[in-house]
Amino acid sequence: MSPRYLPYILILPVTLFLCAFFLYPFLLVARQAFLSDGGYSLQNFRETMGYWKFSISLQNTMLLALAVVPVQVSLALLMATMVSRMKKGRDLVLYIWTIPLGISDLAAGIIWFAIFEQSGFLNSMLTGLGVIDKPAVLLGYQNPLLVFIAIALAEIWRATAIMLVILVAGIGLIPKEYYEAAEVFGASPWQRFLRITLPLLRPSLQTALILRVVLAFEVFAVVVALGGTLFPVMMGQIYSYQFDLQNAGGAAALALVVLAISIAFTLVILRALRVPKGATI
Amino acid sequence: MTRFTKLAGAVSGLAIMLGATWAQAEVLFWSTQARPVEEAQAMRDNVLKGFEGGVDYQPNEDGPWLTRLQAELEAGSGSIGVLGGLHGSFSAMNPDDLVDLDDLGVVSSSETYNTLAKLGTDHLQYVPWMQASYIMAANKQALQYLPAGADINALSYDQLIEWTANVEAATGEKKFGFPAGEKGLKHRFFQGYLYPSYTNGVVRTFASDEAVVAWEKFRELWSHTNPASTNFANMQEQLLNGDAWIVFDHTSRLAQAFNERPDDFVAFPAPAGPKGRGFMPVLVGMAIPRTAPDLDAAKALVSYMLKPETQIATLKATNFFPVVNVELPADVPPAVKAAGDAVAIMSASPDANPGLLPAGLGDKGGDFSRVYVDTFERIILAGQDIRSVLDDQKAVLAKIMQDSGAPCWAPDAPSEGACPVE
């Protein structure tokens, strides 16, 4: 066999798998979104985007992404730098930090719900310490800000590790010589971080950001567990169209809207964090 | 490959084949009911064990339930033998996808249910399986705060509001619990209880002046309601942990409280408004999809489920009541006793105003309920003006009725063609 074909043969199984289980279903969904009453039209889009909760859920999803992703980037950068400096116990710390990654979204939501609920850990702790007289309702409809903060906290706790893992790998790729040279010229740790780590981390940062931002638009289970109907998000709307209203066309249309937003943000990130031509580590 | 791994592979392959043929022989009962693990196990051990040929009872969430069914229908062949689901799940389907069951010779003892089960066609599309209703329940500690002269078995909405206010004044906590969470059944309260009690209708009177009064009253009740209610779905949990003392919910979503601590709680009828004591049944049915692999076995299972002794076993397993006339044994669980009495008092009360489940809405059943949930969220949670919200939502409701062409159902006055929103 000619070695020229080897790479193609090696990626063939994955390609076939993706075509069968991703591309084909995706085409079906895309078709369904434009199909209503037996003909092709934009009816599903008009219906779902005209619903009064659409703008609220779009806004909520965006706000949540805006609040969560920057915190996660900074946290992940901080944690990755700390881990890469460690001489001993590095693996152990990494394992512990990535535990939330192994927990399903819904389970994470339920864990945080157990903290914030009326008879939850936070309330029992506060009453036990005598800070408050009796358990307060934290996740109620009259505290929308608290609901938002609880969801943001749960999301940060749950999904920072995915960025951390990518960034740790990225930092490992940066040659030590640059740091040694910088030290010789008297660069402070902060300068080294800004001038060496950040620029050279660009490709990993790009990957991590794309992954995280796309996932942020798909947030669902954590929101359901903590906010219920109080905090409608895009994925919740899709779920309710598919299963509560049994309107698969509407769900498909909304799914395409989310896809469009994800693609738009991916392109922006790709452009903003692009690696200049010819630049290598 | 060593000889051992070869052998292991062959044995496991054989086991999978045997397993597959074994599963084929059983009837797959694909249900949205009796989902909690204990209930599902009780269904398998106490209800379905007596069926010859065996049953594979698989309860599922509505979403996966429907997804698999639709996949099998689209493929034109399947393994589901019998479907178990709410009236609303069946009414959202195309009746052609369900086998006509007239020749079975088994029906419920309620003519109303049998008519509902035809789903607007001339033939029985599903067989009523079991029923339940929504009632009120209270912690006995709350009884001392009942308004003077109030009879717990004949409460009015005003008395309920006063009662919840008394409890709040005495304990400093809002102790009324309402299942307003994502999975809560709040829409049934509006459709079957609040609207009939205040407006003697559900659709026609949606935006009437009486409806404004109804929402004002509900807003008053809400002011004494535990604000965490927007996370509540099964009020038995809040009864048991004390977060709520007076609650409204589905009988089977209160059962655990009565079964665990029968002496601590009372069940009682829903309150009455100016137009009577509105209440609504819950109807669960069994149907056979046209793709059922073994039609005879599936039909035999449906007949088996309607036998009096199976119905009593089902009652014990799920806290859902029989749909055929049976003599209830003395050893029923406390929850069944409590809920049964409350439902009996409710339906026999002189001002009873029973409503029917929404019918004829086809696949618009979800949209229909969303109108009421949205109205609740806008008026109560977002604090918007009642009149303008009702006028706004009225247009949505009118369009749903127009699109589905559903005629009015009780307590709305009958209509020619689609039920109008007045």
Name the architecture of domain A53-272.
Orthogonal Bundle (1.10)
Give the number of other Cβ atoms within 10 Å of residue B120's Cβ: 16
Report DSSP state, residue B419. Answer: P
Find, among A153, A35, A161, the residue nearest to A97 by Cα: A161
> So what's the pLDDT on residue A274?
85
Asked, for residue B410, whether it belongs to a domain, the answer is no
Of A142, A228, A247, the CB nearest to B181: A228
Of B172, B182, B227, the CB nearest to A141: B227
Are residues B357 and B302 both part of a single domain?
no
Are residues B104 and B125 both part of a single domain?
yes
Distances from the Cα of A14 to the Cαs of A20, A27, A29, A226, in angstroms?
10, 18, 21, 37
Are residues B122 and B148 both part of a single domain?
no
A113 contacts in chain B (CB < 8 Å): 231
| Three-state SS annotation for chain A | CCCCCHHHHHHHHHHHHHHHHHHHHHHHHHHHHHEECCEECCHHHHHHHHCHHHHHHHHHHHHHHHHHHHHHHHHHHHHHHHHHHCCCCHHHHHHHHCHHHHCCHHHHHHHHHHHHCCCCHHHHHHHHCCCCCCCCCCCCCCCHHHHHHHHHHHHHHHHHHHHHHHHHHHHHHCCHHHHHHHHHCCCCHHHHHHHHHHHHCHHHHHHHHHHHHHHHHCCCHHHHHHHCCCCCCHHHHHHHHHHHCCCHHHHHHHHHHHHHHHHHHHHHHHHHCCCCCCCCC
Give the number of other Cβ atoms within 10 Å of residue B362's Cβ: 19
Closest-CA distance, B326 to chain A, in angstroms, reads 35
> So what's the pLDDT on residue A275?
79
Q: A39-72 as b/e, with b when 16 or more CB fall inside 10 Å?
A: eeeebbbebbeebebbeebbebbeebbebbbeeb
Instruction: Report percent pLDDT > 90 for chain B.
Output: 61
Walk along chain A (281 residues) and give the pLDDT tens digit of each residue.
678 899 999 999 999 999 999 999 999 999 999 998 778 999 999 999 999 899 999 999 999 999 999 999 999 999 999 998 888 888 899 999 999 988 988 999 999 999 988 778 998 999 889 888 877 888 888 888 999 999 999 999 999 999 999 999 999 889 989 999 999 999 998 999 999 999 999 999 999 999 999 999 999 999 988 887 889 999 999 999 988 888 889 999 999 999 999 999 999 999 998 877 766 65
**Mean pLDDT calculated for residue range B133-138:** 94
Are residues B32 and B110 both part of a single domain?
yes
- Inter-chain touch A244–B370, beta carbons under 8 Å: yes
Helix or strand (DSSP H, E) at B220: helix B209-222
Concatenate the DSSP letters of all residues of B140-171 into one string. Answer: GGGGGGSPTT--GGG-BHHHHHHHHHHHHHHH
Q: Above 90 in pLDDT, residue B23?
A: no
Asked, for residue B339, whether it belongs to a domain, the answer is no
Are residues B15 and B66 both part of a single domain?
yes
Query: For the ranges A217-226, A229-238, B239-248, B362-371, which has the lowest average pLDDT?
Result: B362-371
Closest-CA distance, A148 to chain B, in angstroms, reads 15
B350: contact with A, CB 8 A cutoff: no
Asked, for residue B387, whether it belongs to a domain, the answer is yes
In whole angstroms, give the CA distance from residue B14 to residue A275.
Answer: 55
- Inter-chain touch B370–A119, beta carbons under 8 Å: no
B71: contact with A, CB 8 A cutoff: no
According to DSSP, the β-strands at B277-279 and B352-354 are: parallel
B181: contact with A, CB 8 A cutoff: yes
Are residues B118 and B160 both part of a single domain?
no
Nearest residue of A to residue B228 by CA position? Answer: A140
Are residues B259 and B394 both part of a single domain?
yes
Question: How far is CA A250 from its chain centroid?
Answer: 24
In whole angstroms, give the CA distance from residue A218 to residue A279.
Answer: 34
Are residues B265 and B312 both part of a single domain?
no
Closest-CA distance, A181 to chain B, in angstroms, reads 55
Phi, psi of B338 (to 5 degrees): -65, -50
Residues of chain A with CATH 1.10.3720.10: 53-272
B275 and B199 Cβ atoms separated by less than 8 Å: yes
Q: A14-30 as b/e, with b when 16 or more CB fall inside 10 Å?
A: eeeeeeeeeeeeeeebe
In whole angstroms, give the CA distance from residue A27 to residue B282.
Answer: 39
A139 contacts in chain B (CB < 8 Å): 228, 231
Closest-CA distance, A243 to chain B, in angstroms, reads 5
> So what's the pLDDT on residue B230?
87
- Inter-chain touch A119–B367, beta carbons under 8 Å: no
Task: Output the six-digit token pair for B302.
Answer: 């449906």
> Cβ contacts of residue A130 below 8 Å, gap of 6+?
none
- Inter-chain touch A242–B367, beta carbons under 8 Å: no
Q: Above 50 in pLDDT, residue B410?
A: yes
The full length of chain B comes to 422
- Inter-chain touch B366–A247, beta carbons under 8 Å: yes
The three-class DSSP label of residue B55 is strand
B229 and B178 Cβ atoms separated by less than 8 Å: yes
Closest-CA distance, B405 to chain A, in angstroms, reads 16
pLDDT tens string B141-188: 999 999 999 999 999 999 999 999 999 999 998 999 999 988 899 999
In whole angstroms, give the CA distance from residue B144 to residue A238.
Answer: 46
- Inter-chain touch B243–A119, beta carbons under 8 Å: yes
Radius of gyration (C-alpha) of chain B in whole angstroms: 23
B227 contacts in chain A (CB < 8 Å): 137, 140-142
Q: Above 70 in pLDDT, residue B57?
A: yes
Closest-CA distance, A17 to chain B, in angstroms, reads 21
Q: Above 90 in pLDDT, residue B257?
A: yes
Asked, for residue B19, whether it belongs to a domain, the answer is yes
B234: contact with A, CB 8 A cutoff: no
- Inter-chain touch B230–A229, beta carbons under 8 Å: yes
Nearest residue of B to residue A53 by CA position? Answer: B374
Dihedral sign for Cα A11, A16, A17, A18, please. positive
A244 and B366 Cβ atoms separated by less than 8 Å: yes
Q: Which residues pair with B156 in a beta bridge?
A: B272
- Inter-chain touch A117–B228, beta carbons under 8 Å: yes
What is the ipTM for the molecules in this complex? 0.75
Q: Which of residues 200-229 of B touch A (CB under 8 A)?
A: 226-228
Of B172, B230, B369, the CB nearest to A230: B230
Asked, for residue B325, whether it belongs to a domain, the answer is yes
In whole angstroms, give the CA distance from residue B130 to residue B148.
Answer: 38
Report DSSP state, residue B85. Answer: E
According to DSSP, the β-strands at B27-31 and B55-59 are: parallel
Nearest residue of A to residue B380 by CA position? Answer: A141
Are residues B82 and B189 both part of a single domain?
no
Dihedral sign for Cα A225, A229, A234, A239, please. positive
Report DSSP state, residue B44. Answer: I
Are residues B357 and B329 both part of a single domain?
no
Report DSSP state, residue B46. Answer: I
Find, among B86, B99, B74, the residue nearest to B295 by Cα: B99
Concatenate the DSSP letters of all residues of B304-373 into one string. Answer: HHTSHHHHHHHHHHH-PEESS--PPPTT--HHHHHHHHHHHHHHHSTTEEE-PPP-S-GGGHHHHHHHHH
Q: Is A127 exposed, middle or buried (0-12, 13-18, 19+ CB in 10 A)?
A: middle
- Inter-chain touch B230–A140, beta carbons under 8 Å: yes
Of A140, A224, A243, the CB nearest to B63: A243
Q: Domain total for chain B?
A: 2
Of A119, A240, A246, the CB nearest to B363: A246
Are residues B165 and B304 both part of a single domain?
no
Size of interface A-B (CB pairs under 8 A): 57
Nearest residue of B to residue A244 by CA position? Answer: B366
Task: Output the six-digit token pair for A176.
Answer: 């030590």
In whole angstroms, give the CA distance from residue B376 to residue B243.
Answer: 22
In whole angstroms, give the CA distance from residue B397 to residue B375.
Answer: 11
- Inter-chain touch A243–B66, beta carbons under 8 Å: yes
Mutate to test the interface with A, among B69, B89, B230 (most CBs of A within 10 A): B230
pLDDT tens string B267-315: 999 999 999 999 998 899 999 999 999 999 999 999 999 999 999 999 9
Mutate to test the interface with B, among A52, A137, A231 (most CBs of B within 10 A): A137
The three-class DSSP label of residue B230 is helix
In whole angstroms, give the CA distance from residue A35 to residue A240.
Answer: 19
pLDDT band at B12 (very low <50, low <70, confident <90, very high): low
- Inter-chain touch B62–A243, beta carbons under 8 Å: yes
- Inter-chain touch B92–A137, beta carbons under 8 Å: no
Asked, for residue B374, whether it belongs to a domain, the answer is yes
- Inter-chain touch B243–A141, beta carbons under 8 Å: no
Closest-CA distance, A45 to chain B, in angstroms, reads 16
In whole angstroms, give the CA distance from residue A64 to residue B83.
Answer: 40
Question: How far is CA B76 from its chain centroid?
Answer: 30
Nearest residue of A to residue B393 by CA position? Answer: A52
The three-class DSSP label of residue B383 is coil
Are residues B201 and B272 both part of a single domain?
yes
Task: Output the six-digit token pair for A111.
Answer: 């864990």
Give the number of other Cβ atoms within 10 Å of residue A264's Cβ: 10
Find, among B335, B151, B376, B166, the residue nearest to B251 by Cα: B335
B230: contact with A, CB 8 A cutoff: yes
B383 contacts in chain A (CB < 8 Å): none
Show which residues on chain A lie within 8 Å of chain B, measured between beta carbons: 52-53, 113, 117-119, 134, 137, 139-142, 224, 228-230, 239-240, 242-247
Of A53, A117, A140, the CB nearest to B227: A140
pLDDT band at B18 (very low <50, low <70, confident <90, very high): very low
CATH number, domain at B46? 3.40.190.10
> So what's the pLDDT on residue B83?
96
> So what's the pLDDT on residue B349?
86
Phi, psi of A277 (to 5 degrees): -60, 140
Looking at every residue in chain B, the average pLDDT score rounds to 89
pLDDT band at B8 (very low <50, low <70, confident <90, very high): low
Query: Whole domain around residue B183: which residue ranges?
Result: 133-281+351-404
Task: Output the six-digit token pair for B172.
Answer: 């400093």
